[in-house]
Amino acid sequence: MAKFQIKNASALVEVRIDFEIPMEYEDEEQEYHYKDCENVVREVFESLHQVKKLIVGKWCLMVVIVNA
Protein backbone atom coordinates (compact mmCIF):
# COMPACT_ATOMS: atom_id res chain seq x y z
CA MET A 1 0.00 0.00 0.00
CA ALA A 2 1.40 3.35 -1.01
CA LYS A 3 1.63 6.00 1.68
CA PHE A 4 0.90 9.63 1.06
CA GLN A 5 0.61 12.85 2.99
CA ILE A 6 -2.09 15.51 2.82
CA LYS A 7 -0.78 19.05 3.11
CA ASN A 8 -2.85 22.18 3.74
CA ALA A 9 -5.98 20.22 4.68
CA SER A 10 -7.41 23.41 6.19
CA ALA A 11 -8.42 24.42 2.65
CA LEU A 12 -10.58 21.29 2.27
CA VAL A 13 -14.30 21.53 3.00
CA GLU A 14 -15.51 18.02 2.13
CA VAL A 15 -13.46 14.83 1.81
CA ARG A 16 -14.52 11.35 0.79
CA ILE A 17 -12.08 8.62 1.78
CA ASP A 18 -12.47 5.01 0.71
CA PHE A 19 -10.51 2.13 -0.71
CA GLU A 20 -10.94 -1.60 -1.23
CA ILE A 21 -8.85 -4.51 0.01
CA PRO A 22 -8.73 -7.54 -2.30
CA MET A 23 -9.67 -10.74 -0.44
CA GLU A 24 -6.85 -12.80 -1.94
CA TYR A 25 -4.60 -13.18 1.11
CA GLU A 26 -4.15 -16.06 3.52
CA ASP A 27 -5.44 -15.48 7.07
CA GLU A 28 -2.11 -14.32 8.55
CA GLU A 29 -1.30 -12.16 5.54
CA GLN A 30 -4.82 -10.65 5.63
CA GLU A 31 -4.37 -9.64 9.27
CA TYR A 32 -1.01 -8.01 8.52
CA HIS A 33 -2.46 -6.23 5.49
CA TYR A 34 -5.41 -4.93 7.56
CA LYS A 35 -3.02 -3.60 10.21
CA ASP A 36 -0.96 -1.80 7.57
CA CYS A 37 -4.15 -0.27 6.12
CA GLU A 38 -5.31 0.72 9.61
CA ASN A 39 -2.11 2.69 10.17
CA VAL A 40 -2.52 4.55 6.87
CA VAL A 41 -6.21 5.31 7.55
CA ARG A 42 -5.43 6.63 11.04
CA GLU A 43 -2.69 8.90 9.64
CA VAL A 44 -5.10 10.25 7.03
CA PHE A 45 -7.79 10.86 9.67
CA GLU A 46 -5.31 12.78 11.79
CA SER A 47 -4.37 15.00 8.87
CA LEU A 48 -8.05 15.75 8.13
CA HIS A 49 -9.18 16.86 11.59
CA GLN A 50 -10.09 20.36 10.30
CA VAL A 51 -12.32 19.16 7.46
CA LYS A 52 -15.96 20.15 7.97
CA LYS A 53 -17.48 17.10 6.25
CA LEU A 54 -15.71 13.73 6.16
CA ILE A 55 -17.36 10.87 4.28
CA VAL A 56 -15.82 7.54 5.27
CA GLY A 57 -16.20 4.39 3.19
CA LYS A 58 -16.86 0.92 4.55
CA TRP A 59 -13.29 -0.38 4.15
CA CYS A 60 -11.88 2.54 6.12
CA LEU A 61 -14.26 1.79 8.97
CA MET A 62 -13.65 -1.95 8.71
CA VAL A 63 -9.86 -1.77 9.10
CA VAL A 64 -10.15 0.59 12.07
CA ILE A 65 -12.92 -1.37 13.84
CA VAL A 66 -11.56 -4.89 13.14
CA ASN A 67 -8.18 -4.01 14.65
CA ALA A 68 -9.58 -2.10 17.63
Over the stretch 58-68, which tens digit does the pLDDT of each residue have? Answer: 888 887 776 66
The domain locations on the chain are 28-68
Q: pTM value?
A: 0.65
53-60, long-range: CB within 8 Å, 24+ apart, which pairs? 53/13, 53/14, 53/15, 54/14, 54/15, 54/17, 55/14, 55/15, 55/16, 55/17, 56/17, 56/18, 57/16, 57/17, 57/18, 57/19, 58/18, 59/18, 59/19, 59/20, 59/21, 60/17, 60/18, 60/19
Distance CA 24, CA 20 (A): 12
Over the stretch 35-51, which tens digit does the pLDDT of each residue have? Answer: 778 888 888 888 888 88
